[in-house]
Structure 1
Amino acid sequence: MWARQRGSFIAFNVITLAAALAVLLTHLGDAAANAGSAAFWVMVVLAVLAGTQAFAAEIGPERIRVTIAPTVCFSFAILLTWGLWPAAATQAVACGVIAWRLRRTLFEAAVAAARYTLALGAASAILWLGEPDPFRDNTGSSLATDALSVVAAGLAWLAVYGVLFLGTRLGEGLPWRRALVVVRDQVLFNSALLVLSPVLALAARINVAFLPLAIIPLIAVQRLAQLSSQRENIARQDPLTGLANRTGLRAVYDRLVVGPPTRLGAAEPARPSLIILDLDRFKQVNDALGHDIGDQLLVAVAGRLPRVDPRVGVTARLGGDEFAILARADDPQALAQEVARGLNQPVYLEGLRVDVTASVGVATDEGEGFNALLRHADVAMYEAKQRGDTIATYDVRSDRASPAQLRLLADFRRALEVDDVDRLRAHYQPQVSLSTGRIEAVEALLRWNHPQMGPVNPEDIVSLAEHTPVMVMLTRRMIDRVTAQVAAWNAAGVSLRASLNVSTRDLYSEELIDHLAERIAHHDIPPGQLQIELTESAILADVRRAQAPLRRIADLGVTICLDDFGTGYSSLQHLRRLPISEIKIDKSFIAGMAHNRDDAAIVRSTIELARSLHIRTVAEGVEDDITHKLLAKARCDLAQGWHTARAMPGDQLPAWLAEHDDDGRAA
């Protein structure tokens, strides 16, 4: 398809050139008719000088490059006064000057001159039909007829030039709608120039000395065009660093996505990738050294970022200490590593050494639009910051705000609101005593069966809900389920302690503690049959703040377990200040103790320290007999894992227990 379009584009330009040449050949008689006219040569010089003031502007949100040059008013004035050939020749010379100034090719200059020639030819034909020389001293025609001829000629010029310019832009691969916007702006600009042409023609007839005065309005028109272009550039540029801003980044993305079609048989260009980096500890620099130093640091960082070819991307500052690089890159990860390497060296600002590090997120466009790409790169960047890595690539599984994840969270919220007991349930995994073999406790685990997706991984849904109000709703439902189940077991003669997990958000909620107390009283169960599990990081992140709610829970008679113990690198010193009854040794240590001496040593020492503080120990993730025996030898209290049993619905647990010996020992 591209090959056909490219061929049509070349053919269109060749036809334009041939048609312009044909028009010129039919008007050779005008070539030297006014060679001796001083006014004519003054007009030519002014046209050439106007060509030297040409500039390339980027218009529209797609930043489409167009040429702005006020030469048209002179060539059209020459047409009105001296005919087509002198006008076309003058415009052709001006096109050559413009091409030289803007570093365009000779072919581009020739095609531009051909467009102008055909537009002038159309205007000449209208003048020939109406009034060939509207500015001569003549009583044979009225002023109205003269004015009408000039206006009609100008409209013909605009129509032909607009059509030819549109054909050129379409041939370059620009979509119809955007090409029409560019043509509209060009027609408006040239209309303003054509209005000046009759004034120049009259000045040439009356007194050649008046012609230079036309420079004043032309400078005004040119200046307005430049100011408009500069305003658009400023709107797309960060004033501090000179890089593109968010608006400029969006414009380049739109241009890359709607770029020219790919040549048939050629490899598809790489999809645009976005790299976002956020400086680490930038706020500390601002607070400690002042905003002036902070600004200098931002400028220094901007200077170290790789500059990408404007044809395939852009480097931008999004605001604050956040930068971005958008590019068609075959290996965006390599580009991200180049960014990270560029920031490795310290920056010296006013004699102070400032070490610069950044968290970098990488995302590749998947056709979902600019906002989605920006969000994906942002998610990846925060993932890198959270993990302590330098670079992270976007992974939908870690995106808690993706549309799919948000829909899943909304479905989960609805299940909680209607209390869907058929699909939203608690399963219970037994905990066996390593000294007696009895099942002493269970841990309540969430199970949700989505209507369309089926069983959902509990870790996925908890991670989604954890920082939202949905987490509070989930904890309330789990309290309801567990307290009701414990009461049902008691009625059936099964007495077990049941643990349920609570998040940090729940720990500091007075309402949830009140709800726990109310459910215990409602079902008339001993508080000691309930245990709250909190992760080590949740409690030890702020021990002082955690003391009050933990003490209130303990005052209810509910025991407290420290889950995932060992992952937060905490000290058992903290446990002396907190009402902790049990610690659960993280499965990452348990799984390795059978073949890793270090893990085994950590587990044994943890058990001994806990025993010295009269704290119960639970080993989670026990999946084989060797580990089970090693834990028993180390005098661990309880074991939980597939070696004993998988989690099961509460109503199935009594039957499972019945399969054990009469004394309740595990079979």
Structure 2
Amino acid sequence: MEACSRSMSGNLHTGRFEEERLIALQQLDLLDTPPSESFDRITRMASQIFNLPISAVSLTDRDRQWFKSRVGVEHCSIPREKAPCGQVAETADVLVIPDIQEDAWYADSVLGRSGIRFYAGAPLVTREGYGLGALCVLGTEPRSVNESEVAALKDLAAMVMAQIELQHAFGRVDPLSGLPSRNQFLDDLADLAAEHPDEARLVVLVDLARPEQISDYARVMGPGRVDDLVRDAARQLRGLLGSDRRLYHTAATQFAFLAPRGVRRDEYVPRLADGHRRERQLSMTGTLLTSAIGVAVFTPRSTGPQDVLRALYSAVQDARSSPDLVSVYSPVADEAYQRRYRLLQDFGPALLAGDQLRLVFQPRIDLPTGRCVGAEALLRWSHPDLGPVSPGEFVPVIEHSPHAQAMTAFVLETALAQARRWREDGYEIVISVNVSAANLHEADFGRSVQDALRRHGLEPERLELEVTESAIMQDAAQARRQLDELAAAGVRLAIDDFGTGYSSLAYLQDLPAHVVKIDRSFVLKLDEGDRESSLVRSMIGLSHDLGYRVVAEGVETVEAAHRLLSMRCDEGQGYLFARPLEVGQFATWLQEHEPGIRPAAERNV
């Protein structure tokens, strides 16, 4: 039987069946992958059952036997020439050689020359009938086997195939690209810790396009064309890496790979950037997509697979804002992002806690009379673990999150309740509340504001809503409908941060607003020269010509207040008059400064 098998082996090795067998083996993406405990467990069991020092899961490649798992063997492959496992793969049958030294064919093989005397192998066969290799056991002494041992070897080989099929079936190979999937990537990273736990490695993530680009492309061309792009990119990346490197398809448009062992970051990353720069104009897929590359350095023992993948995601996001669209993972940047995410995560509970969020109020002063005519409500957050969090840090995060509407609702309710209390104390103050783009997208925002005013028994003119030009521009038609409804109801509207947008004059002419607030960046430069003064003077004059009341933000010096008054600016707001005040402080401040409020520096003159 053995002679017949060896004769048939020569024909199989060069025929069509052999090529199909090799294709089946390649598609499983097992060759040259890191060790895996799921396979090692079976080889250890085989060694123990047969009481032999050597066992292996041996895969038959074109010119080698490569060991996916091995016990008692240092090297990871031997030549295929005269390798018994090659015969097992070709014949898909069990092969037992009681004494290799007595076998005319295998006596001068690599195994025979290395002192191996006994061999037994059971085939690893796919459902289509292709032999991938063998589960084999070897010894240094001649040996025979009985039927129960042969049956055990077959069962163990079946377990190996079950593991191979399990990996392939459960997300180990991406069906679109045919590449190892994210699950396989994570498993291979984990396996690195067994072989090279302390060896620093570079890993790379290629993101083909921004999500909105893929969405737009699918909308125009159809999702099938997106699939074509991904497949084309996978082929090109595999070609760039070569057959000895493994490419993983880790997300819809993302691919990962490990840099060669021993490569230096300061040499490898510039090469990546140069190559990416050359390809960037046309992109890897030949379309107008903007690819980005993230790089991370990790040590398998100290960095878990999920943390490696998260570091890559962080790096590729940072790459989106990098000039060459390539970025190396930065722990500092990642820590800042983690903090932003935590703020986003913790804001919802903060709304319900009752003791974390509060309002402070900054007075608005009528410049000609010095009277306090209004106050801007400003949100403050005392985080239970992080302490006081600057509104400049958390407000931009929350404004672009699902919490944006709830945040405005909290500020509105709290501010109106305080305005009612102040009116009962005899202070008629207009309360200003900032509104985000998300609020203007609410279909019933105008109605909810009017309902809140009624609940607190306040006239609409006691409330001023501040809206930025950028918020309006996100959906101008919807914003205009909301603002028209609010203005018709008698609510005052203010254009906040005026001068920082792109279409300020057009919006000034068109919006149903009552107030323009000149951004503090212009007011702070008033003392720098005539050009800066002329710009502010022009803003004030134009706003007055269009019927707006003008408020200058960021008034910090007496000189600035005098200049603004000479320019006929209506109101001022800034540290010169008062910083944002707690509720109790604001009441005290009002008592001290009414009926007339002048800058502190002038009150002592």
| 2:219 is equivalent to residue 246 of structure 1 | no
Q: Tell me the distance in 1 between the aligned counterparts of 2:322 and 2:101.
A: 73
Q: Tell me the distance in 2 between the aligned counterparts of 1:51 and 1:120.
A: 27
Deviation at 1:444, TM superposition (A): 0.7
Alignment counterpart, residue 497 of structure 1, candidates 414, 427, 430: 430
Alignment counterpart, residue 570 of structure 1, candidates 503, 506, 510: 503
Given that residues 361 and 384 in structure 1 are in contact (C-alpha distance below 8 angstroms), is that contact kept between their aligned partners in structure 2? yes
Q: Tell me the distance in 1 between the aligned counterparts of 2:237 and 2:500.
A: 37
CA deviation profile, 1:127-156 (whole Å, cap 9, x unmatched): 5xxxxxxxxxxxxxxxxxxxxx63477699
Alignment counterpart, residue 544 of structure 1, candidates 457, 473, 477: 477
Structure 2: state its 5+ residue gaps.
37-56, 61-82, 121-136, 601-605
Q: Tell me the distance in 2 between the aligned counterparts of 1:278 and 1:410.
A: 27
Aligned to 2:277: 341
Alignment counterpart, residue 200 of structure 2, candidates 269, 275, 280: 269
Structure 1 letter corresponding to 2:84:
T
Given that residues 207 and 253 in structure 2 are in contact (C-alpha distance below 8 angstroms), is that contact kept between their aligned partners in structure 1? no
Given that residues 294 and 313 in structure 2 are in contact (C-alpha distance below 8 angstroms), is that contact kept between their aligned partners in structure 1? yes
Aligned to 2:589: 656
Alignment counterpart, residue 547 of structure 2, candidates 614, 618, 626: 614
Given that residues 520 and 555 in structure 2 are in contact (C-alpha distance below 8 angstroms), is that contact kept between their aligned partners in structure 1? yes
Given that residues 274 and 364 in structure 1 are in contact (C-alpha distance below 8 angstroms), is that contact kept between their aligned partners in structure 2? no
| 2:98 is equivalent to residue 85 of structure 1 | no
Aligned to 1:6: none
Structure 2 letter corresponding to 1:188:
L
Deviation at 1:481, TM superposition (A): 1.6
Q: Tell me the distance in 1 between the aligned counterparts of 2:314 and 2:415.
A: 36
CA deviation profile, 1:418-471 (whole Å, cap 9, x unmatched): 5x1x43210011223344433332211111222333212224333443344433
CA deviation profile, 1:76-119 (whole Å, cap 9, x unmatched): 97755xx56314x75464447xxxxxxxxxxxx96695785993
Q: Tell me the distance in 2 between the aligned counterparts of 1:564 and 1:382.
A: 29
Distance verdict in 2 for CA 1:428–1:347, change over 3 Å:
closer
Distance verdict in 2 for CA 1:86–1:401, change over 3 Å:
farther
Alignment counterpart, residue 348 of structure 2, candidates 410, 413, 438: 413
Aligned to 1:67: 58
CA deviation profile, 1:524-552 (whole Å, cap 9, x unmatched): 33322211112211112222111221122
Q: Tell me the distance in 2 between the aligned counterparts of 1:522 and 1:78.
A: 90
Q: Tell me the distance in 2 between the aligned counterparts of 1:43 and 1:304.
A: 41
Given that residues 208 and 291 in structure 2 are in contact (C-alpha distance below 8 angstroms), is that contact kept between their aligned partners in structure 1? yes
Aligned to 1:452: 385
CA deviation profile, 1:258-312 (whole Å, cap 9, x unmatched): 54234xxxxx51464544342574555555567776666555555665945888x
State the secondary structure of the residue aligned to 1:489.
Answer: helix
Structure 1 letter corresponding to 2:538:
S
Q: Tell me the distance in 2 between the aligned counterparts of 1:120 and 1:449.
A: 70
Q: Tell me the distance in 2 between the aligned counterparts of 1:526 and 1:406.
A: 39
| 2:120 is equivalent to residue 150 of structure 1 | no
Q: Tell me the distance in 2 between the aligned counterparts of 1:466 and 1:583.
A: 22
Q: Tell me the distance in 1 between the aligned counterparts of 2:186 and 2:529.
A: 53
Q: Tell me the distance in 2 between the aligned counterparts of 1:567 and 1:553.
A: 24
Distance verdict in 2 for CA 1:241–1:563, change over 3 Å:
same
CA deviation profile, 1:212-269 (whole Å, cap 9, x unmatched): xxxxxxxxxxxx979968994997555666655434443443344554234xxxxx51
State the secondary structure of the residue aligned to 2:449.
Answer: helix
| 2:156 is equivalent to residue 188 of structure 1 | yes
Provide TM-score, normalisation by structure 1: 0.63
Distance verdict in 2 for CA 1:94–1:290, change over 3 Å:
farther
Structure 1 letter corresponding to 2:437:
T
Alignment counterpart, residue 138 of structure 2, candidates 112, 119, 136: 119
Distance verdict in 2 for CA 1:379–1:523, change over 3 Å:
same
Distance verdict in 2 for CA 1:76–1:509, change over 3 Å:
closer
Given that residues 469 and 496 in structure 2 are in contact (C-alpha distance below 8 angstroms), is that contact kept between their aligned partners in structure 1? yes
State the secondary structure of the residue aligned to 1:505.
Answer: helix
Q: Tell me the distance in 1 between the aligned counterparts of 2:96 and 2:466.
A: 91
Structure 2 letter corresponding to 1:68:
L
Deviation at 1:42, TM superposition (A): 6.5
Alignment counterpart, residue 554 of structure 1, candidates 483, 487, 490: 487
CA deviation profile, 1:608-646 (whole Å, cap 9, x unmatched): 321211122333333445544444444433332323321
Distance verdict in 2 for CA 1:455–1:314, change over 3 Å:
farther
Structure 2 letter corresponding to 1:254:
A
Aligned to 2:514: 581
State the secondary structure of the residue aligned to 1:610.
Answer: helix
Q: Tell me the distance in 2 between the aligned counterparts of 1:344 and 1:407.
A: 34
Alignment counterpart, residue 442 of structure 1, candidates 370, 375, 386: 375
Distance verdict in 2 for CA 1:327–1:622, change over 3 Å:
farther
Deviation at 1:486, TM superposition (A): 1.4
Aligned to 1:278: 209
Structure 1 letter corresponding to 2:277:
R
State the secondary structure of the residue aligned to 1:85.
Answer: helix
Q: Tell me the distance in 1 between the aligned counterparts of 2:358 and 2:283.
A: 56
Q: Tell me the distance in 2 between the aligned counterparts of 1:378 and 1:236.
A: 20
Structure 1: state its 5+ residue gaps.
1-38, 97-108, 128-148, 159-185, 193-223, 263-267
Deviation at 1:595, TM superposition (A): 3.6
Deviation at 1:661, TM superposition (A): 6.9
Deviation at 1:322, TM superposition (A): 4.1
Q: Tell me the distance in 2 between the aligned counterparts of 1:233 and 1:285.
A: 30
Q: Tell me the distance in 2 between the aligned counterparts of 1:304 and 1:661.
A: 74
State the secondary structure of the residue aligned to 1:427.
Answer: strand
Given that residues 316 and 326 in structure 2 are in contact (C-alpha distance below 8 angstroms), is that contact kept between their aligned partners in structure 1? yes
Deviation at 1:559, TM superposition (A): 0.7
Given that residues 276 and 377 in structure 1 are in contact (C-alpha distance below 8 angstroms), is that contact kept between their aligned partners in structure 2? no
Percent identical: 28
State the secondary structure of the residue aligned to 1:484.
Answer: helix
Deviation at 1:648, TM superposition (A): 1.0
Of Structure 1 and Structure 2, the greater helix share is in 1
Aligned length: 520
State the secondary structure of the residue aligned to 1:188.
Answer: helix
Q: What are the equivalent positions in structure 2 for 1:276-355 lying under 5 Å apart?
A: 276-278=207-209, 281-285=213-217, 297-298=229-230, 301-302=233-234, 305=237, 307-308=240-241, 314-318=246-250, 320-327=252-259, 330-331=265-266, 334=270, 337-338=273-274, 340-346=276-282, 354-355=287-288
Q: Tell me the distance in 1 between the aligned counterparts of 2:193 and 2:500.
A: 45
Instruction: Work out which of the two has the higher radius of gyration on C-alpha atoms and give 1 or 2.
Output: 1
Given that residues 208 and 289 in structure 2 are in contact (C-alpha distance below 8 angstroms), is that contact kept between their aligned partners in structure 1? no
Aligned to 2:457: 524
Structure 2 letter corresponding to 1:557:
G
Provide TM-score, normalisation by structure 2: 0.69
| 2:487 is equivalent to residue 474 of structure 1 | no
